[in-house]
Amino acid sequence: MSDILQIIDADGSKTGDAPDLDNQTLIQMFTAIVRTRAFDSRCMNLQRTGKIGFSVPNRGVEATSVGAAAALDTSKDWFAPHYRDFGMLFYNDVPPEAMFDNMFGNNDDSAVGRQMPVHFSFTEPLKWLSISSPLGTQIPQAVGISLASKKRGEDAVALTTFGDGSTSTLGFHSGMNFAGVMKAPTIFLCQNNQWAISCPGHKQTASESYAIKGEAYGVPGVKVDGNDVLAVYTAMTEAVAKARAGEGPTLIEAITFRLGGHSTSDDPTKYVPAEELEAAEANEPLKRFRAYLINEGVLTDESADAIEEQAAAEMLAGARAAEAKGRPVLGTIFTDVWQDQPAHLTQQMEYCIKHYSERDEAVDENGEFPL
């Protein structure tokens, strides 16, 4: 279990056989990594200036998310992600404004302001299960989705992603065990970013790796350089092919490094040794993939700079558009529950609105009480 799949090294030089991808796909991968980093930066600025309450930094782990997303077929496959997978959304061209709608919890937010920021839920352009905060809950859900697809005779797989800390949860054990027994077409992608908040890997597990944990469940495990987008894509492509062929699940451990905090409420400099951060910065995925694409003649410095500039402008525009929208009104707490609202909920809604009205709470331009 010591071998780690790698195709591009930290300098952007090839160390293995690259997958046969056209230039358009390679640029799509690069653009998704760039957009993820630009979104991440914009969210950090918004949180630090008090405009949003929370975000989850993705800096350093983008290649794992993008490489995995590129291997799936969004017309039929399912994503059951965790909260550090922005790159999967950007690879599939989810509009930044829709993501910022969730960050602000505004009228157009798909969760109508009733979820934490970064807890995205989308049905288009991909089948994206709503992110939840409790660790590991998405893992058995992905197994159930993949088994349901299998029973219906659909040629679909489900990808579930999670951090190294989530391998200590009951959801990981239950999902892996069930998938192994049932030969579920599920792909388990562990984003080993070295730190479960402030808990380092050597305090998280006594196993020699996370990939090796699959053996206990009858699930093959693979280790891959998670900062190498092409290596992640290659490992994922092989796992997807096996799952579609009825050969069951795969556990992939993508070894990467979270360069920011666990969230915007966390300061990693308090627990991550400075030399580890310095080494991780030298190995980060965006610089690596950019160098590779320039070496291969897919991009030039000028075209790569243009993509980065466009991404920054795109995120600024998306954030401004989302910020300008109104907040969901009080009544949506009740009206979004049922297609035909029961009488008791109507009574509760009327009482709630009357209560706020009697307190002379501020109303919006439509005379509604914002949440």
Catalytic site residues?
A: 258, 262, 271
C-alpha–C-alpha distance, residues 97 and 117, integer Å: 13
- The answer to whether 188 and 250 are in contact (CB under 8 A) is yes
| Spatial CB neighbours of 183, under 8 Å, sequence gap ≥ 6 | 246, 247, 248, 249
- In one-letter notation, the amino acid at residue 75 is S
Which residue, chain included where needed, has tokens 């991808």? 21
Q: Does residue 134 have a cis bond before it (omega within 30 degrees)?
A: no
Cα–Cα nearest to 210, from 157, 249, 170, 168: 168
Q: For 221-258, give the secondary structure using H, E and C.
A: EEEEECCCHHHHHHHHHHHHHHHHCCCCCEEEEEECCC
Joined tokens for residue 123:
């049905």
Q: Which of 162, 145, 99 is nearest to 125 (CA)?
A: 99
Quote the CA–CA distance of 314 and 335 in Å, as a whole number: 33
Count of C-beta atoms within a 10 Å radius of residue 271: 13
Contacts for 116 with CB less than 8 Å, ≥ 6 apart: 53, 54, 133
